[in-house]
Amino acid sequence: MTRQICIAQDPAADELLSRDDFALVVGMTLDQQYPMEAAFKGPHKIAERMDGFDIHRIAESDPDEFVALCSVTPAIHRFPGSMAKRVHDLATVIVDNYGGKPSAIWTEGDPDGKTVLKRLKALPGWGDMKARIFLALLGKQVGVEPKGWREAAGHYGDEGSRRSVADVVDDATLQEVREFKKQQKAAAKDKAG
């Protein structure tokens, strides 16, 4: 299945996200306290510096050297050290537990949506919200639709929603998601104030 991811808003970065499951998982990992399109450019920055994007090479690399590589300007994240360590840990976990195939997280044993969600939540640095958003991304843009995926993804799985990276397919939807998040922050601030 050919997918066309358009989250990074950069042709080369989006092409990598479109063909490499680990790049997509890394982009989601980096999508934290950082603009989403910049986070999803992170895998392409790593690929340029490592002369390719290979989960096994990342897992086998010296952790300190990998952190240094990710910290070179422009860094992969506003917190390059901690996020590079997380990406390295992520590669190691997927190599050790899934034979280096991220897709096994959502395909091994024909899992249902709840099982995929549980596996995603077990990844380094992934909490409930990140896992639900990624499950929605899989269902909405990658064609991975295990039984009950929309329910397991919660509101992120809602058809036609514009609440997360799972709904970003072009610049217009990126702006719609940004506007939704802005409204959510304002509503939370009003409620707290």
Cβ-proximal residues to 106 (8 Å cutoff; 6+ apart), any chain: 116, 119, 138, 144, 146
The chain-wide mean pLDDT, for the chain, equals 95
Percentage of residues of the chain with pLDDT beyond 70: 99
> pLDDT tens, 66-111?
999 999 999 999 999 999 999 999 999 999 999 999 999 999 999 9
How high is the pLDDT of residue 189?
83
How high is the pLDDT of residue 39?
97
> pLDDT tens, 6-51?
999 999 999 999 999 999 999 999 999 999 999 999 999 999 999 9
How high is the pLDDT of residue 2?
63
Residue 1 has pLDDT above 70, yes or no: no
Q: Looking at 109-113, 144-148, 184-188, which range is the least confident one?
A: 184-188
Asked whether the whole model's pTM tops 0.75, one would answer: yes
